[in-house]
Structure 1
Amino acid sequence: MAKVKYYYDSETLSYRKIERKKRTTIKFALLFVLASALFGFLFVFIASQYIESPKERALKRELANLELQYKLINKRVDNAFTVLESVEERDNAIYRLYFEANPIPSEQRRAGFGGINRYKKYEGYDNSKLIIESNKRLDLLQKAIVVQSKSLDEIAVLAEDKEKFLSAIPAIQPVKNEDLKHMASGYGYRTDPFTKVRKFHFGMDFTAPRGTPVYASGDGKITRADNNASGYGKHIRIDHGYGYMSLYAHLYKYNVRSNQKVKRGDLIGFVGSTGRSEAPHLHYEVFKDGERINPINFYYGNLSADEYARLLEKASLENQSLD
C-alpha cells in the first residue's frame, strides 16, 4: 500500500493530504528511466574499457599467439640466413676461387625488389609492420637461395673440367728433395748477390749440383726454351692454361723444345748456372694472369706436411739470393 503524505496548511491550521498529479508521476517515471539508462550506458562503457569479455580475451590470446609465431618464423629465418651465409662464404672463398670464377658480390645476393609495393595488402592492421617485415625477409631469403642455387649450377659445370684443371696447376716442387742441397732463397725482399742491394726476389732458388734433373710442375705447353731473356740464362717457360705459367731459369741444358706438350713430373731440363747466377741452382717462378705469385703456395702435390712446414720456414728467411 502506497504511503499517504500530508502537509500543514498554515491558513487553515490543519494538515492536508498531498495529492500527486498524474503528469508529475509520469514525469518522475520518465526521469527515473532516463537516469537508469544513462547509468547503464556509463556502466557498460566503463566496463568495456577495463573489463574484457570472453570473446575479447580469446581474440587477444589468438593475436599474441600469431605474434609469437611470427617471431619464431623470424628466428628461423635468421638461422637460415646464418647457414646460407656460410655456404655463400665457401662459395666465394673456396669454390669460385678454386675454379677461377668471379665471386658474387653481396649486393647481388641481397638485392631487394623494385617496382610496385609488394606488401600493400598487409597494410592497415595492428601488426602490419611485423607482418610486412617478416614477408620481406622471407622474400630476400628465397631470392638469395635462388642466386646460390644458380652459382652452384655454375660450379658444377666448372667441376666437369676439374681433372684437367688440377693437372695443369703447377703443384709440385720442380727439384726433388733428395737432389737438393738446400732451399737457398724464397719469394720476397732479399739481398742481391752482386750489388748487395735489398730488392724483391720474385721466385724461389733451389741449390743443387749441376746436371740435377728439373721436372715440369704441371701439365702444359712449352712456350720458350731459350737463352734470350736477360738474367735468366737458359730457361724454360710452360703455359699451363687457366692463367698459370711457370718459369725454370739458369739451366745447364734442356730436355724439351718449344711448343712441346708436357705432363706434370716430366723431365724438362737440368740445373745449371747460366745467366745472372752466382752458383748452380734452379730459379723457379709462378705467374697467374701475368703477375708473379709466391711459388710456396703450390707444393701440395709432392711434399708432406712436415716437409712443407720446413720449406716454408726456410723460404721466409730474408737472406741473400743466388741471382
Structure 2
Amino acid sequence: MAKVKYHYDPETLSYRKIERKKGRAFTFTFLILCAMFLCLIAGAIISPYFIETPHEKALKRENENLKLQYNFLSERVELAENALANVADRDENIYRIFFEANSISDAQRKAGFGGINRYKKFEGQPNSDLIKNSAKRIDILLKGIEVQSRSLDEIEKLAKDKEKLLAAIPAIQPVQNKDLTRVASGYGMRIHPILKYRKMHNGMDFTAPKGTPIYATGDGVVTKASRASGFGKVIYIDHGFGYMTKYAHLNKFNTRKGKKVKRGDIIGYVGNTGLSSGPHLHYEVHKNGKPINPVNFYHGDLSPEEYEIMLEKAAQENQSLD
C-alpha cells in the first residue's frame, strides 16, 4: 500500500493531503523501467569482462599452468646454459692451455645462428616472441653442447698423447746412483782419450763396473742393438715425439732390435767396447735428430741436491772416456 503524504501549511497551521498526479506517476514508472532496461543492456555488455564462464575459467587455469611450466623450463634451460658456460670456461682456460691446444672462440661455439630468419615460422602465433626466444636459447644450447663434445674428444686424445709423451721422454739416469763410480765427463768440448784432441762430446760418460745394468730412460722401440764404429756395442731407442737415446760401449745386450721397452727396463750392461779407455756407459739424448745435453733429463730420480752435484760435475771440461 502506497504511503499517504501530507503538506504542512504554516498560514492555517494545518496539514493538507498531497494528491499525486497521474502524469507524474506514469513518468516515474517509465524512468524506472528505462533504468532497469539500461542496466540489463550494460550487464550484457560488461559481464563478459567481469564474469567468467566455466570454459573461460578452464582456459585461464590452463594458461596459468602453461606459464608455470614455461617458467620451470626456462629455469632449467638457464641452469644448463650456466653449466655449459662453466665447462666451456674450464675447457678454454685450463684443459686447452695445459695440453697446448688451439683456442675455440665464442663465435665458433655459437656458429650457425646468423643470416636467415630461422624462426620465421613462429611469427603470427600467440606469444610468438616468447616462442622464438625459447627456440633460439635451446638451439644455442644444443650447438654449444655439440661443439663442447667435439672439444672434449680432442682433449681426450691430447691427454692420451700427453701421457705417452710423459712416458716417452728420457727422464732417469741410465745407470743407478748406487752403481756409479763417478760421472766421468759431461756434454760439450772434451779431450778424446784415444785421439788426444778436443772434439765435441755429444753425451755423458758414467763410470761403473763392467756388467752394471743399464736402464732404458723412457718408453720406446729399440731401433739398433749391434756394433758400431767407435761405439762398440751400442743400443739406439726411438721414443717417439722426436726423442732418441743412445747407449754405447756395452759389454752385452739384454734387448734386440724392434723390441718395445719401458722406462726402467734393463737393456744391457756396462762394458769397455769400441774406442773406450775404461768400463763406462756413453749416453746421448737426441731431439729431432740433434744431440742435446742429457743433464736436462734427470728429473725422474734425482733430488735437487743430487741434481746440483750432477750439473757441477757435468760442466767440468776434462778428458772424456771415449
Q: TM-score, normalised by structure 1?
A: 0.53
Instruction: Please list the CA deviations of residues 21-79 of structure 1 after superposition, one character each: whole Å capped at 9, or x if unmatched.
Output: xxxxxxxxxxxxxxxxxxxxxxxxxxxxxxxxxxxxxxxxxxxxxxxxxxxxxxxxxxx
Q: Identify the residue that residue 304 of structure 1 maps to in structure 2.
A: 303
Q: Identify the residue that residue 194 of structure 2 maps to in structure 1.
A: 194
> Counterparts of 1:150-169 in structure 2 under 5 Å?
157-169=157-169
Q: Identify the residue that residue 109 of structure 2 maps to in structure 1.
A: none
Q: Partners in 2 of 1:181 and 1:210 — Cα distance?
A: 11
Q: Partners in 1 of 2:292 and 2:99 — Cα distance?
A: 20
- Residue 297 of structure 1 deviates from its aligned partner by 0.8
Distance 1:154 1:196, change over 3 A: farther
- Which residue identity does 1:257 align to in structure 2? R
> Counterparts of 1:149-298 in structure 2 under 5 Å?
157-227=157-227, 229-298=228-297
Q: Partners in 1 of 2:316 and 2:179 — Cα distance?
A: 21
- Residue 245 of structure 1 deviates from its aligned partner by 0.6
- Which residue identity does 2:244 align to in structure 1? M
- Residue 152 of structure 1 deviates from its aligned partner by 11
Secondary structure (helix, strand or coil) at the match of 1:194 reads coil
> Counterparts of 1:27-42 in structure 2 under 5 Å?
none
Secondary structure (helix, strand or coil) at the match of 1:274 reads coil
Instruction: Please list the CA deviations of residues 64-115 of structure 1 after superposition, one character each: whole Å capped at 9, or x if unmatched.
Output: xxxxxxxxxxxxxxxxxxxxxxx9xxx6xx964xxxx8x99xxxxxxxxxxx
Question: Contact conserved, 2:185 with 2:206, CA < 8 A, in 1?
Answer: yes
Q: Identify the residue that residue 117 of structure 1 maps to in structure 2.
A: none
Question: Contact conserved, 2:99 with 2:158, CA < 8 A, in 1?
Answer: no
- Which residue identity does 1:211 align to in structure 2? G
Q: Identify the residue that residue 61 of structure 1 maps to in structure 2.
A: none
Secondary structure (helix, strand or coil) at the match of 1:210 reads coil
Q: Partners in 2 of 1:266 and 1:156 — Cα distance?
A: 28
- Which residue identity does 1:251 align to in structure 2? L
Q: Identify the residue that residue 126 of structure 1 maps to in structure 2.
A: none
Q: Partners in 2 of 1:233 and 1:215 — Cα distance?
A: 18
Question: Contact conserved, 2:99 with 2:159, CA < 8 A, in 1?
Answer: no
Q: Partners in 2 of 1:209 and 1:289 — Cα distance?
A: 32
Q: Identify the residue that residue 88 of structure 2 maps to in structure 1.
A: none
Question: Contact conserved, 2:223 with 2:236, CA < 8 A, in 1?
Answer: yes
> Counterparts of 1:52-201 in structure 2 under 5 Å?
96=100, 157-201=157-201
Q: Partners in 1 of 2:300 and 2:175 — Cα distance?
A: 13
Secondary structure (helix, strand or coil) at the match of 1:234 reads strand
Q: Identity across aligned pairs (percent)?
A: 64
- Residue 185 of structure 1 deviates from its aligned partner by 0.3
Distance 1:258 1:186, change over 3 A: same
- Residue 195 of structure 1 deviates from its aligned partner by 2.6
Q: Partners in 2 of 1:268 and 1:256 — Cα distance?
A: 5
Q: Partners in 1 of 2:305 and 2:216 — Cα distance?
A: 23
Secondary structure (helix, strand or coil) at the match of 2:320 reads coil
- Residue 199 of structure 1 deviates from its aligned partner by 1.3
Q: Which moved more, 1:161-170 or 1:260-269?
A: 161-170
Provide the alpha-carbon RMSD of the alignment: 2.6
Question: Contact conserved, 2:187 with 2:202, CA < 8 A, in 1?
Answer: yes
- Residue 164 of structure 1 deviates from its aligned partner by 1.3
Q: Identify the residue that residue 46 of structure 1 maps to in structure 2.
A: none
- Residue 278 of structure 1 deviates from its aligned partner by 0.5
Distance 1:193 1:256, change over 3 A: same
- Residue 221 of structure 1 deviates from its aligned partner by 0.7
- Which residue identity does 2:230 align to in structure 1? G
- Residue 205 of structure 1 deviates from its aligned partner by 0.1
Q: Partners in 2 of 1:273 and 1:306 — Cα distance?
A: 30
Q: Partners in 2 of 1:186 and 1:154 — Cα distance?
A: 41
Gapped regions of structure 1 (runs ≥ 5): 1-86, 105-150
Q: TM-score, normalised by structure 2?
A: 0.53
Q: Identify the residue that residue 67 of structure 1 maps to in structure 2.
A: none
Question: Contact conserved, 2:221 with 2:259, CA < 8 A, in 1?
Answer: yes
- Residue 182 of structure 1 deviates from its aligned partner by 0.1
